[in-house]
């Protein structure tokens, strides 16, 4: 079906060749209304995109030849997305591909303003089709300066209250190839330094009090409280945290529902996923107030494991107080307890 139009073909003639004009007219010279199909400008963009893609070089067989700043074209094997950008780095942050690179990262090009950079990053792999368009010498790419990262982050997080700073940091991360090995730890270090630098003591103590009210905490046995007081009073500057994580103890269990349970084995974990741990560690080491010291301990991760009866045989506690026994820092317990549900499955198998 054709549709007559009073519009002039002048606009189309400016955009398309004679052969391409055949898309808009039939053999009798009757013009199809281009607005009914889609805008002429959109057609021009599609044709231009096809012409550009036709000029893309053959995909690389070895992505390891890429150098930071090389301009590349990516065709994703996962969703078919095609983008142009700049290669920036390789290697996943946890080192899973350190012996055989599988993860690569690019910054998406700013097509509207080529002299500016989007700071939008994509991950790609050896399964994707990657073509080299220009080498770093000719691409004009300007890499991000690592030495500026901390100061840029400080500018951002100091604008908001302490409890909102981590959300600002997460948005800040997205402006970098943060899951890569090159940038992940660097950004983590920048967060630790920036957070400590902009947070005042008063601000942290107020935050600490509010946070502790929102959480449930295990009540520490008197024996462990005394040991922690000793650490507070006697540990050398900068060594409190290490003394705290060396404290481990067991508490006798009397569980009528499972007679294989013997003790609960407690210990603090030095590494924790808490995004504010850097403030906790700083003030744990520096505070002169024992109440604040115990409040900060509530921010550290206190872990535990259930011991089976017999797991404690041969162990020699340093101090005992009723059902609580403080272990020597070098004592290591390997729990053999199996939860009742899994125990039943193990017997059945």
pLDDT tens per residue across span 242-263: 999 999 999 988 776 676 778 8
Cα separation of 276 and 283, whole Å?
11
Output b/e per residue, 190-200; b: 16+ Cβ within 10 A: bbbbbbeebbe
Which of 153, 161, 142, 141 shows the shortest CA–CA distance to 186?
153
Tell me the helix, strand and coil percentages in the chain, rounded to 5.
40, 20, 40
> Which residues of the chain are modeled with pLDDT < 50?
1-8, 36, 47, 49-53, 346-349
Which of 200, 90, 75, 53 shows the shortest CA–CA distance to 128?
75
pLDDT at 341: 65
Neighbours of 154 (CB within 10 A): 16
pLDDT at 187: 97
Neighbours of 277 (CB within 10 A): 18
Place of tokens 């000793």: 230
What domains are there in the chain, each with its CATH number?
10-54 (no CATH), 63-139 (2.30.30), 146-198 (no CATH), 216-348 (no CATH)
The whole-model pTM stands at 0.74
In angstroms, how far is the first alpha carbon of the chain from the final one? 72
pLDDT at 253: 85
DSSP secondary structure letter of residue 25: B
DSSP 204-273: HHHHHHHHHHTS--PPPPHHHHHHHHHHHHHSPTT-HHHHHHH-EEEEE---TT-TTEEEEEEEEES---
pLDDT at 182: 96
Neighbours of 122 (CB within 10 A): 17
pLDDT tens per residue across span 188-215: 999 999 999 999 999 999 999 999 998 8
Cα separation of 187 and 152, whole Å?
11
Cα separation of 288 and 275, whole Å?
24
């Amino acid at each position: 079906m054709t549709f007559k139009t009073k519009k002039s073909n002048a606009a189309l003639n400016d955009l398309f060749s004679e052969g391409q004009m055949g898309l808009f007219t039939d053999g009798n010279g009757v013009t199809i209304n281009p607005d009914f199909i889609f805008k002429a400008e959109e057609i021009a963009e599609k044709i231009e995109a096809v012409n550009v893609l036709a000029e893309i070089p053959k995909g690389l067989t070895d992505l390891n030849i890429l150098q930071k700043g090389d301009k590349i074209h990516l065709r994703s094997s996962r969703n078919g997305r095609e983008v142009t950008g700049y290669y920036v780095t390789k290697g996943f942050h946890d080192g899973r591909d350190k012996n055989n690179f599988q993860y690569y990262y690019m910054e998406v090009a700013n097509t509207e303003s080529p002299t500016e950079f989007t700071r939008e990053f994509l991950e790609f792999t050896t399964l994707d089709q990657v073509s080299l368009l220009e080498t770093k010498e000719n691409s004009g790419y300007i890499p991000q300066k690592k030495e500026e990262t901390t100061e840029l982050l400080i500018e951002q997080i100091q604008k908001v209250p302490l409890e909102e700073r981590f959300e600002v940091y997460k948005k800040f991360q997205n402006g970098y190839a943060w899951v890569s090995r090159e940038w992940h730890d660097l950004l983590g270090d920048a967060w630790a330094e920036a957070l400590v630098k902009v947070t005042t003591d008063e601000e942290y103590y107020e935050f600490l009090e509010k946070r502790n009210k929102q959480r449930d905490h295990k009540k520490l046995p008197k024996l462990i409280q005394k040991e922690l007081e000793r650490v507070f009073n006697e540990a050398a500057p900068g060594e409190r945290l290490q003394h705290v994580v060396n404290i481990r103890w067991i508490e006798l269990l009397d569980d009528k529902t499972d007679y294989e349970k013997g003790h609960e084995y407690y210990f603090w974990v030095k590494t924790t996923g808490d995004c504010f741990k850097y403030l906790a560690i700083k003030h744990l080491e520096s505070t002169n107030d024992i109440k604040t010291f115990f409040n900060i301990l509530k921010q550290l991760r206190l872990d535990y494991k259930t011991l089976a009866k017999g797991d404690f045989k041969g162990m020699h506690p340093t101090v005992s107080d009723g059902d609580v026994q403080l272990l020597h820092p070098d004592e290591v317990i390997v729990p053999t307890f199996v939860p009742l549900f899994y125990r039943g499955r193990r017997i059945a198998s």
